[in-house]
Structure 1
C-alpha cells in the first residue's frame, strides 16, 4: 500500500489530527497527563496529537479560568482553520466535570467533533452525590458527545446506565505505558525490593500498606520498600518512623519518568492496595517492568488481571491480608518470577503503547471521517 506523502515529508492534515484537553497538561496532569505524554512521544507523525491544558498545574480560580478560556479559544480556532480536527476531552469527577461542562457546551455550540474520555476511580459515586440539576447537565453532556471512551466494564456500565449514553457510542480503551524493554535478571538470593507508585494517601491504601510492612509477618524476611509519589510525604515519613520502618522504607516524593523506570528496574514487587482506580498506571508500570504485582480488585483491574497468574489480589483495606501476601512473595522468588513473567506477557499482548496509539488513531479516524467526507463547512 502506498504511504501518503504527508507521512514522509511533514505533519498530517488537520483532519487527521486531534487536540487533547487535559487538566494540567502532560507535566501536571497526574496519571492522565502521563498517559497523554506517552501518546505524544509515541505518535508516528509529529503534530498528530496536540495537548491543551484546561486547568494549570493546580486549580486556582483566576489562572484556571484563564486556562479554560484559552482552551475554548483553541476550540474556536480549530473549528475555523481545521474543521476536521477531533477534540479529545479528558474528564474525571469533581472540578474536572465542572470545567468540562463548559468546554463541551462550547464544542457543541461550535459544531466540533468531540469525545469524552472518562478517567476516574469512581465516577458513579461522584455523580450520585450531585444534586439533580447537575446530574441533568452531566447526562446531557455525555449523551451529546460524539463518543465516550471508558477504561473498563464498570465505567461502561456507568455510561450506559447512569448517564444514558447509547451503547454504540461507548468504547473501552484501557490505559498503556511504554515498553521499558526486557526486565533485568533478578537473582533469587538478593534483597527483595518492593515499590509503590502513586499519590500518598488513603485512597491509594498507603495507611494499610505501612501497617502491613510493620506487621509481624514481614519481620525476619529480607526486603526494602520505596513508596514514590506526591502528597503529604513528610507525614507518612513520620508514621513510618513511628512504626519502626525508618530503616526499611524510603519515600523520595514524586519521581520523573526516568527515575520511575530506574526504580522499577531494580525492584521485584509492585504493590498498589488502592480503594479506587480506573485502570492504574502504576499497575501497568509494574506489568511492563516484569514485576510481581500485588493490588486490589477495583476499577478495571478485575477485567484484565487474573489472581495468582498475572497478579495477586488482596481485599481493599485489609492490612493483615496484604502483609501475608507480601511476606509470601518475599519468601518465594519462584512465585514472584512466575507472576512477573505472566504479567509481562499480558502487558506485551494487550497494553503496549504502540497498540494503544493505533487503536486511538482508529477511533479518531472513525469520528473525523463522516464530517470530512460530507465536506462539513465549519
Structure 2
C-alpha cells in the first residue's frame, strides 16, 4: 500500500475499494486543505469520547489530549465531542446526535481537519461506529482509536451481521490506532483490515515519578483501582485475600471504584475479611494519586484489558503491581522485573503473589524502582503525546507539534 503523503497544505483520504479495506489515495476536498488564507484560523481536531465516571480510561485519554493544548503554532486545536456522560445511556442518544451535527457543521465551514474517535466495547462501539460513518459520509478523515478489552470475544461469538457491523467502522476509518500488537494482528487476520493503516500507540499518564522507600515490619495496604466487576477480577481478589496466611502480617485492602459495592461488601463479609476491606466508591484523579501514594501495592487481576491506565499510574507512582498477563500488558511489561503476573482466576496464585509483596520488602523496593524507570522511558504523558503527534504528521502530513510540555496537568473533565 502506498504511504500517506502531504504537507500543511495537502492531505489525503482513503476511498473505498475491495480487499483488506485499504483504498486509493485522492486529494482532500479543497475545504479541508490548509491554505494561506485559512492559516490564521486554527483547524479543529474533534476528539470523540465519553466523560466523567462513565468515561473510564477513554475519557481520561481524551482529557490528556485536550491538556496538550493542540498545536504549538496555533494551526490546529483539539475540541471535545462527548458521546456519553453520567446522565446514562439514554441521554447518550442526544449526545450522539449533537456530535454528528457538530461534525457536519464544522465540515461545512471548512475548519475541520479530522476526527479522532475513541472506540470501546459494545455500546461504545455502536455509538462510535455511527460517528465514524457519519464523519466519512461528510468526507471528513477519521482516526479510530481502539481501547476495547472485550471486542475480540464479542466479535467471535457474534452472528455474521454483528461481525460485519463491527468491521465496517474499521474499514471506513483512514487510520486505526491500537494499544498493542494483539489488536493489530486481530484486525488484520480476523477483520481483514489493511495492516498498513494501523498504528500501535501505548498509553501514557500524567504522573510525576516519586521514588519511594519501603520499610520492613509495617502494616501493608493493597489497592484495587477500577470498576468493581467480574471482568476486572474483583471477586477473585477478594477470594485471594481470604486465603492470605498469617505470615502475610497486618494488612488492609482498599477497593477504589464504582460498581455493585453492596454485592462486593457482602462477599467480603461472607469471606470473613470485611473488617480489613474498605470500599471508597469512584475516585477522581486526585484521589487516584493519593491512594497510590498511600498503598504498598496495587492488584488488578483482570480477565481482559487493553493497557490499563491504572497500571501505568501505579508504575509512575512507584507502587508495585500484581496483574494478569492479558491484552497488551505482557507486550510492554516484564514478569519479575516490572510487575508480578498471575493467571486470571487463579485465587491461590494471586494469594501467593500478594503474600510475597507483603513479606518481601526487598522485592517491593525492586519492583517500585523498576516501575518508575519503565514509566519514565515509555509511559509518561509527554511520550504519549509526542508519539500521537508523530502519527498525525506521518499519516496526514500535518506540521503539528505539542503546544506545551504536559508534566502534571490539572485533572479535568469536559
Same fold (TM over 0.5): yes
Tell me which residue corresponds to 1:20: 47
- Alpha-carbon distance change, 317 to 58 in structure 1, aligned in 2, over 3 angstroms: farther
Tell me which residue corresponds to 2:253: 225
Give how far 1:129 is off. 2.4
Is the 1:25–1:56 contact (alpha carbons within 8 Å) kept by the matching residues of 2?
yes
Matched position secondary structure for 2:298? strand
Tell me which residue corresponds to 2:61: 35
Of residues 85, 100, 115, the one that matches 1:56 is 85
Distance of 1:108 and 1:66 partners within structure 2: 20
Is the 2:55–2:84 contact (alpha carbons within 8 Å) kept by the matching residues of 1?
no
Tell me which residue corresponds to 1:335: 363
Is the 1:84–1:371 contact (alpha carbons within 8 Å) kept by the matching residues of 2?
no
- Count of matched residue positions in the alignment of Structure 1 and Structure 2: 359
Distance of 2:376 and 2:398 partners within structure 1: 33
Distance of 2:271 and 2:342 partners within structure 1: 22
Is the 1:12–1:48 contact (alpha carbons within 8 Å) kept by the matching residues of 2?
no
Distance of 1:147 and 1:114 partners within structure 2: 7
* Unaligned residue ranges in structure 2 (runs of 5+): 1-38, 401-414
Tell me which residue corresponds to 1:211: 239
Map residues 89-238 of structure 1 onto 2, 5 A cutoff.
Answer: 89-217=117-245, 221-238=249-266
Of residues 276, 279, 304, the one that matches 1:276 is 304
Is the 2:248–2:358 contact (alpha carbons within 8 Å) kept by the matching residues of 1?
no
Matched position secondary structure for 2:245? helix
Distance of 2:40 and 2:346 partners within structure 1: 51
Give how far 1:83 is off. 4.1
Of residues 351, 355, 373, the one that matches 2:379 is 351
Larger deviation, residues 47-56 vs 271-280: 47-56
Give how far 1:60 is off. 3.1
Tell me which residue corresponds to 2:17: none
Is the 2:45–2:116 contact (alpha carbons within 8 Å) kept by the matching residues of 1?
yes
Distance of 1:166 and 1:185 partners within structure 2: 48
Distance of 2:242 and 2:89 partners within structure 1: 38
Give how far 1:127 is off. 1.4
Distance of 2:146 and 2:262 partners within structure 1: 32
Tell me which residue corresponds to 2:391: 363
Scaled by the length of structure 2, what TM-score is found?
0.82
CA deviations 1:235-290 (Å, max 9, x no partner) are 11122122221221111111111111011111111110001101111111111111
Give how far 1:26 is off. 5.1
Map residues 255-266 of structure 1 onto 2, 5 A cutoff.
Answer: 255-266=283-294
- Alpha-carbon distance change, 71 to 332 in structure 1, aligned in 2, over 3 angstroms: same
Is the 1:198–1:229 contact (alpha carbons within 8 Å) kept by the matching residues of 2?
yes
Distance of 1:141 and 1:227 partners within structure 2: 36
* Unaligned residue ranges in structure 1 (runs of 5+): 1-10, 373-378
Tell me which residue corresponds to 1:85: 113
Is the 1:193–1:225 contact (alpha carbons within 8 Å) kept by the matching residues of 2?
yes
Tell me which residue corresponds to 2:35: none
Distance of 1:41 and 1:201 partners within structure 2: 30
Tell me which residue corresponds to 1:313: 341
Give how far 1:189 is off. 3.3
- Alpha-carbon distance change, 354 to 26 in structure 1, aligned in 2, over 3 angstroms: farther
Give how far 1:58 is off. 5.3
- Bigger proportion of residues as helix: 1
- Alpha-carbon distance change, 269 to 233 in structure 1, aligned in 2, over 3 angstroms: same
Is the 1:194–1:269 contact (alpha carbons within 8 Å) kept by the matching residues of 2?
yes
Tell me which residue corresponds to 2:7: none
